[in-house]
Structure 1
Amino acid sequence: MDEHNISVGLDIGTTKIVAMIGRKNEYGKVEILGVGKSKSLGVHRGVVNNITQTIQSIQQAVQEAEAAASEKIEDVTVGIAGQHIRSLQHSDYITRPNSELVIDEADIDRLINQVHKLVMLPGEEIIHVLPQEFKVDGQAEIKEPIGMYGGRLEANFHVVVGQVSSIRNIGRCVKSAGLELEGITLEPLASANAVLSQEEKEAGVALIDIGGGTTDLAVFKDGIIRHTAVIPFGGNVITEDIKEGCSIIEKQAELLKIKFGSAWPGENKDNEIVSIPGLRGREPKEITLKNLSKIIHARVVEIIEQVYVEIKNYGHEEQKKKLIAGIVLTGGGSQLKHLKQLVEYITGMDTRIGYPNEHLAGDSDEDIASPLFATAVGLVMDGLKRHERRKAEALEEDVFKASENEGEQDTDQEAVIEEPKKERRSFLDKLTERVKEFLDNAE
């Protein structure tokens, strides 16, 4: 496998596991070379609860993708979500020993490391620390404090917390499936990268990714992520309700939902009926579409209201925090008929369905540009970014060595090149390393 050009996203979901192989084409767009999809058997609400079955599902998806792309998969970028993920806002500050020196990377690292010492619940660990904005000596709303003078540096942080055992279990499944863990990414962030434009992130937008077992929310404003939440309900609960409400088996309930389901009960007439074959010689069942959409409507309203509570928690009703671009729906559950209208009706916010086609090459298969694959596309993009970063770092090292040999004349250039280096190493990279280390030692 050509290390630097190709990246593999592995989306371990509750209903499906997707392995997607992609590379950047000459226009900077992502070209998908192959996709493998398998039924996810060992995952419940985004959390692995059967390691053996999950490993088999991963292997099946990977083999399918390898066959489609004629490439061998070795490393993957994995998404983490699940009901154990929660987020909180936190403010922290450091006092700098010498305010006559400008603020540099080391100060910001010190501040972020301080946030990592927050006391969490047992078994929980901080996954992501995202600085929102900084204050230097009381001067607020600073986006980038590097290069400024000041004695007291403080910042508001968006802190994402998850259960470390769940993340290790995912790492374990990936490793046992014969793959290397290249990177870990928060799934709402991956989906957001795939379906949102920079303008939307600036204006303020809420991304709602409705999966099988969970619904992920990511809120952006001024180009920065402001709030994340995982709601432990998704498309499977709707199927479950149809199964119970109509007394039919799960397979039939899922088909009914996809083919005839609608989130808006008003549009079905009373005399529209679907006949479902009975089990083993029993009489067929007749179900009115009106009843079907009433069942779906009740559950969808519940999910959307929970998401809306989270959007309000972020502070959407304050003028300054208003989400001008409204809501973007993605994930498999977003394909439910009339869902967009229902979301607009409940929240009063502009809504669109998010397709991951903005970053995809023009000749991509239509199926891949479906909301179903938003997370997988986002993970491929994340892996490609990682490759580029490694390339840049390797280049920097070469320049640094060359400049050392040539003496002092290149020091300015070296400083310019080196500056972003530390900052770009995200905490998820460090987390990936820790999970890898843990797995190596656990063998």
Structure 2
Amino acid sequence: MEDNIAVGLDIGTTKIVAMIGRKNEYGKVEILGIGKSKSLGVHRGVVNNITQTIQSIQQAVQEAELASDMQIQGVTVGIAGQHIRSLQHSDYITRPNSEHVIGEEDIDRLINQVHKLVMLPGEEIIHVLPQEYKVDGQAEIKEPIGMYGGRLEANFHVVVGQVSSIRNIGRCVKSAGLNLERITLEPLASANAVLSQEEKEAGVALIDIGGGTTDLAIFRDGIIRHTAVIPFGGNVITEDIKEGCSIIEKQAELLKIKFGSAWPGENKDNEIVSIPGLRGREPKEITLKNLSKIIHARVVEIVEQVYVEIKNYGHEEQKKKLIAGIVLTGGGSQLKHLKQLVEYITGMDTRIGYPNEHLAGDSDDDVTSPLFATAVGLVLDGLKRKERKVIEKENLLNEFEDESNQSQEILNKPVKERRSFLDKLTERVKDFLDNAE
């Protein structure tokens, strides 16, 4: 595939989306094709049926290939799920020679040290995100490279997940005949798609309400500060409607989408929906007021859990205040009056996030729906990674342009780039899959 094209694969609880995107000459992303299939083998963000998941992935990929007239090989995959948790950790290294300036290798050494943290059995560190550094006790350093100092320390945001869950996703992607280019954290992908740089600087909480999970990512001063995955999403609301109204799931889902509201006060007592009975039974009559009461109760529970996480991050301290408030995205964010309810519960400014921050102006309305925030984010992630590789190759070439005899040698040398932990994680999953067959 060409360098300026990438494919995002969002393996969700309700749907699997394959999305093909390309960078245009203005630096914006054009979506060339989308494929969407019902996700049958995933529960709360975790694969629980390999065969069904592989089939759903293949279906979504075929649809995207048809729409774009392209062949998909490599994909960027998102992971979420109830097994993801995060913690704060600080660590330091003492440098052998403080006469030399701090370089990449010192930071790598420090990050590798964090990787040796002892986790619970079956867990693995997915992301190690440096927050800020200290050099010889001087705090609040954003970029220590090039500085002098003997002791380098940093605060880290560490994201942890279950190895088996991540490997299962890798297995599904590989068995669907695709090449796993990179694994990335879904809340981070969604954030890339819907948040502006100003919001990330000012402080913002992104809440991505999916079918099986609700993901949270908090940014402040342009750096990710906190992530959490809450194991509830739109599906539990549907489940409650199904139980509360004694109807089948398909009808409950339709009711929620068409008539659902998170604010019970909105509906009059006499507004009624009639639902056809099963196999010759009498139709059921459901009042919209009751429907919104059921929805309201569950949504309040989800929002309150998210708010606990926002408070855990420390939003109530003056220094950590999230000035840009909350951005809601994901399919669940389309519920009527949700914005008002979230503002009421948290007291924070709220907006709905559409993934059009980096998309070309003439994109379809479909693509810019909050439903596709994660998929758009994964495409952006894939494109960014390809761009980095191209730039690094060019830089190497430019360095040696003058010394033409050496330039051939350097071309044959592999490009050394500072690999993020996601790249390393992707490699570990790939190695495991290759050896496990």
**TM-score over 0.5 for the pair:** yes
- Work out the CA distance in 1 between the residues paired with 2:416 and 2:349: 39
Contact 2:194–2:356 (CA under 8 A) maintained in structure 1: yes
Where 2:345 maps in the other structure, the secondary structure is helix
Residue matched to 1:439: 433
- Work out the CA distance in 2 between the residues paired with 1:401 and 1:213: 52
Opposite residue 176 of structure 2, the aligned amino acid is A
Where 2:22 maps in the other structure, the secondary structure is strand
Contact 2:205–2:218 (CA under 8 A) maintained in structure 1: yes
- Work out the CA distance in 2 between the residues paired with 1:111 and 1:31: 39
Opposite residue 220 of structure 1, the aligned amino acid is F
Where 1:34 maps in the other structure, the secondary structure is strand
- Work out the CA distance in 2 between the residues paired with 1:404 and 1:106: 27
- Work out the CA distance in 2 between the residues paired with 1:161 and 1:123: 10
Q: TM-score of the superposition, structure 1-length normalised?
A: 0.95
Identical columns (%)? 89
- Work out the CA distance in 2 between the residues paired with 1:401 and 1:119: 44
- In the TM superposition, residue 3 of structure 1 has moved relative to its aligned partner by 2.5
Where 1:398 maps in the other structure, the secondary structure is helix
Contact 2:204–2:322 (CA under 8 A) maintained in structure 1: yes
- In the TM superposition, residue 101 of structure 1 has moved relative to its aligned partner by 1.2
Structure 1: runs of 5+ lacking an equivalent: 409-413, 415-419
- Work out the CA distance in 1 between the residues paired with 2:16 and 2:303: 25
1:429 counterpart (402, 415, 423): 423
Matches within 5 A, 1:48-63: 48-63=47-62
Residue matched to 1:215: 214
Contact 1:105–1:422 (CA under 8 A) maintained in structure 2: no
- Work out the CA distance in 1 between the residues paired with 2:402 and 2:59: 49
Residue matched to 2:27: 28
How many pairs were matched up?
431
Residue matched to 2:289: 290
Matched, 1:97 2:96: yes
Residue matched to 1:248: 247
Residue matched to 1:356: 355
Contact 1:263–1:338 (CA under 8 A) maintained in structure 2: yes
- In the TM superposition, residue 397 of structure 1 has moved relative to its aligned partner by 3.5
Where 2:156 maps in the other structure, the secondary structure is strand
Matches within 5 A, 1:245-394: 245-394=244-393
Contact 2:392–2:417 (CA under 8 A) maintained in structure 1: no
Matches within 5 A, 1:175-254: 175-254=174-253
Instruction: Note the alpha carbon deviations across 1:364-398, whole angstroms, 9 max, x for none.
Output: 11111000000000000000011101112222333
- Work out the CA distance in 2 between the residues paired with 1:233 and 1:212: 8
Opposite residue 376 of structure 2, the aligned amino acid is V
Contact 1:233–1:303 (CA under 8 A) maintained in structure 2: yes
CA RMSD after TM alignment? 1.4
- Work out the CA distance in 1 between the residues paired with 2:417 and 2:85: 27
Contact 2:354–2:373 (CA under 8 A) maintained in structure 1: yes
Opposite residue 364 of structure 2, the aligned amino acid is D
Structure 1 residues 266 and 98 mapped into 2: Cα distance closer, same or farther (>3 Å)? same
Structure 2: runs of 5+ lacking an equivalent: none
- Work out the CA distance in 2 between the residues paired with 1:401 and 1:140: 38
Contact 1:9–1:77 (CA under 8 A) maintained in structure 2: yes
- Work out the CA distance in 2 between the residues paired with 1:189 and 1:15: 20
Instruction: Note the alpha carbon deviations across 1:6-39, whole angstroms, 9 max, x for none.
Output: 1000000000000000000010000000000000
Residue matched to 1:145: 144
Q: TM-score of the superposition, structure 2-length normalised?
A: 0.97
